[in-house]
C-alpha cells in the first residue's frame, strides 16, 4: 500500500458497511461512513419509542437475530462476543400451527445458535462505526457520487446539496444507491450513475426485494400462555413469526415487548392496495389491527397491548444473490466497490461476508495502484 493514507467513503452503516469500515480502518485506511438513518444498523436497527405516559420501549424491528455457519464469520462473532457486543439468545423457539392451534415438532429447537446484538441489534454497527480511524456521519444521505477523472477521486454531495468531501475510494452498501431507474422517496434518482461502471449495471439491474410489515407490541404483563420466546407460524395468511424482544439477553425492560412479522403474501396484498409509496398512517393502522387480531386468534395472546406500532420494510430481503463467489462487485480503475447482503445471501451472515470481502478487495486494489 502507498505511504499516503487512503481515504474511503463507505455509504451505508448497516452491518455490511460497518464491518467493511471497521476492517479498512484496522488496516490503516481513513474511513468516513455515511448513513441516511439517524443512527447505524440499517435492517439491523433498533427502534426506540416513548409512550404518552413516558415509558421508553426498544424493539429490534428489523432482523430479530442471526445465525452463522461460515467459520470466518464465526471468528468475527467470537471477537464481538468477547467485547460484549453479541450474545447467544438461548430461549426456546417453536412452530405453531394456526389451524390445529397447537405447537408442532419442526426441529426448530435443534437449529443453529441464535445471536443478538447487546443491548440492541444495532449495537454491533454502532460499536464498529465508533472505532478509531472511522468518522461516522449519521442522518446524512448521499445524493450524488461524482467521479472526477482528472483528480482520480470521488466527490460526494448530500441530499441537502452539501459537499461531503473527496475520496480516493467508494464502497456503496445499499442496492438502491445504484439501482438503474430507481427513484428515492425523496424524489432523487440513485446517487451512483451506473454509466460510470457499466460492467456492474447489468448485475444490479434486477435485484428484487421482498417486502414485509412488522408490528411492535408492549404488554404490562408477560404473555404466560406462550411457552417459547420465538415462534414461526404455519397456516396463517397474515403472520409468519413472532419474537419476544424483552427476553433477549441485555434488554432491561419492565414491559414484555413482542415483534410480529407478517407473511410476504400479506405484505404484497396490502402494498398492492395501498401503493408502493411510503405507508400512510391509515395503512399502518390497518396492518396493526390485522396482525394483532391474527395473533389473538391463535389463542396465545389473550391480553391487550398498551402500545402498538406497525412498520413497513419495503426492501427487507433480496430474492437473488448477484455475487455469490466474489461476494462483492468492483471497478478497479475507479476504486468503486458495491457490497451488501444482496451480493451473498439475504441475511446478516451474507452481509458480513460481503463487507469483509469488500474491505479485502479495497486493500488489494491499493496494493496494485496507489490510493491517494
CA distance 365 to 304: 57
Among 9, 10, 11, 24, which residue interacts with ligand FAD (rule: CB under 6 A)?
11
Question: Within 77-116, which residues bind ligand FAD (CB under 6 A)?
Answer: none
Tell me if 322 sits within 8 A of 355, measured CB to CB. no
Contact 189, 318 (CB under 8 A): no
Per-residue mark of binding to ligand FAD, 199-228 (x: CB under 6 A):
-------------x-x--------------
Does residue 141 belong to the site contacting ligand FAD (CB under 6 A)? yes
Residue 313 engages ligand FAD in binding (rule: CB under 6 A): yes
d(CA 295, CA 275): 25
Beta-bridge mates of residue 47 = 59
Q: Which regions of 89-238 does DSSP assign to beta strands (E)?
A: 93-97, 102-104, 115-117, 134-138, 142-148, 153-158, 163-167, 169-172, 209-219, 230-234
Residue 15 or 128 having the CB closest to ligand FAD: 15
Site string for ligand FAD, 173-192 (x = CB under 6 A): xx-xx-------------x-
Stretch that binds ligand FAD, among 61-69, 95-103, 231-239, 282-290 (CB under 6 A): 61-69
CB 92 within 8 A of CB 227: yes
Residue 119, preceding bond cis, omega within 30 degrees?
A: yes
Residue 284 binds ligand FAD, judged by CB under 6 A: no
Angle of helix 264-274 relative to helix 281-297, nearest 10 degrees? 150
- By CB under 6 A, tell whether 245 contacts ligand FAD: no
351 contacts ligand FAD (rule: CB under 6 A): yes
Is residue 66 a contact residue for ligand FAD (CB under 6 A)?
yes
Residue 247 touching ligand FAD (CB under 6 A): no
Binding of ligand FAD at residue 366 (CB under 6 A)? no
Per-residue burial over 208-221, b = 16 or more CB atoms within 10 Å of its CB, e = otherwise: ebebbbbbbbbbee
Please say which residue, 6 or 39, places its beta carbon nearer to ligand FAD. Answer: 39
Contact between 17 and ligand FAD by CB under 6 A: the answer reads: yes
- Residues near ligand FAD (CB under 6 A): 11-17, 34-37, 42-44, 62-66, 141-142, 173-174, 176-177, 191, 212, 214, 261, 313, 316-317, 340-341, 346-349, 351
Amino acid at each position: 500500500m502507498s505511504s499516503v493514507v487512503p481515504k474511503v467513503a463507505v455509504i451505508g452503516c448497516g452491518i455490511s458497511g460497518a464491518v467493511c469500515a471497521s476492517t479498512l480502518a484496522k488496516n490503516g485506511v481513513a474511513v468516513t461512513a455515511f448513513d441516511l438513518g439517524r443512527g447505524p444498523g440499517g435492517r439491523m436497527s433498533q427502534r426506540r419509542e416513548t409512550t404518552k405516559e413516558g415509558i421508553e420501549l426498544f424493539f429490534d424491528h428489523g432482523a430479530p437475530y442471526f445465525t452463522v455457519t461460515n467459520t470466518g464469520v464465526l471468528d468475527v462473532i467470537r471477537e464481538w462476543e468477547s467485547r460484549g457486543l453479541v450474545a447467544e439468545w438461548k430461549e426456546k423457539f417453536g412452530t405453531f400451527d394456526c389451524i390445529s392451534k397447537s405447537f408442532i415438532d419442526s426441529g426448530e429447537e435443534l437449529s443453529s445458535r441464535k445471536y443478538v446484538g447487546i443491548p440492541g441489534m444495532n449495537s454491533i454497527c454502532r460499536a464498529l462505526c465508533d472505532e478509531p480511524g472511522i468518522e461516522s456521519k449519521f442522518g446524512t444521505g448521499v445524493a450524488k457520487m461524482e467521479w472526477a477523472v482528472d483528480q482520480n477521486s470521488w466527490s460526494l454531495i448530500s441530499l441537502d446539496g452539501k459537499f461531503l468531501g473527496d475520496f480516493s475510494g467508494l464502497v456503496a452498501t445499499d442496492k438502491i444507491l445504484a439501482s438503474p431507474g430507481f427513484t428515492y422517496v425523496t424524489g432523487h434518482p440513485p446517487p451512483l450513475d451506473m454509466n460510470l461502471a457499466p460492467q456492474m449495471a447489468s448485475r444490479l439491474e434486477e435485484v428484487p426485494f421482498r417486502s414485509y410489515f412488522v408490528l411492535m407490541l408492549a404488554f404490562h404483563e408477560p404473555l404466560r400462555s406462550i411457552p417459547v420466546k420465538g415462534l414461526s407460524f404455519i397456516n396463517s395468511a397474515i403472520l409468519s413469526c413472532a419474537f419476544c424482544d424483552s427476553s433477549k439477553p441485555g434488554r432491561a425492560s419492565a414491559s414484555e415487548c413482542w415483534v410480529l412479522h407478517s407473511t410476504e403474501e400479506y405484505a404484497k396484498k396490502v402494498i398492492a392496495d395501498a401503493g408502493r409509496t411510503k405507508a400512510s398512517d391509515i395503512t399502518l393502522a390497518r396492518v396493526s389491527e390485522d396482525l394483532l387480531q391474527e395473533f389473538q386468534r391463535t389463542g396465545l395472546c389473550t391480553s391487550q397491548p398498551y402500545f402498538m406500532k406497525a412498520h413497513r420494510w419495503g426492501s427487507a430481503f433480496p430474492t437473488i444473490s448477484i455475487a455469490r463467489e466474489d461476494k462483492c462487485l468492483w471497478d478497479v480503475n475507479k476504486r468503486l466497490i458495491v457490497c451488501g447482503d444482496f451480493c451473498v445471501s439475504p441475511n446478516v451472515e451474507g452481509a458480513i461476508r460481503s463487507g469483509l470481502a469488500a474491505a479485502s478487495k479495497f486493500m488489494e486494489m491499493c496494493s496494485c495502484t496507489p490510493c491517494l
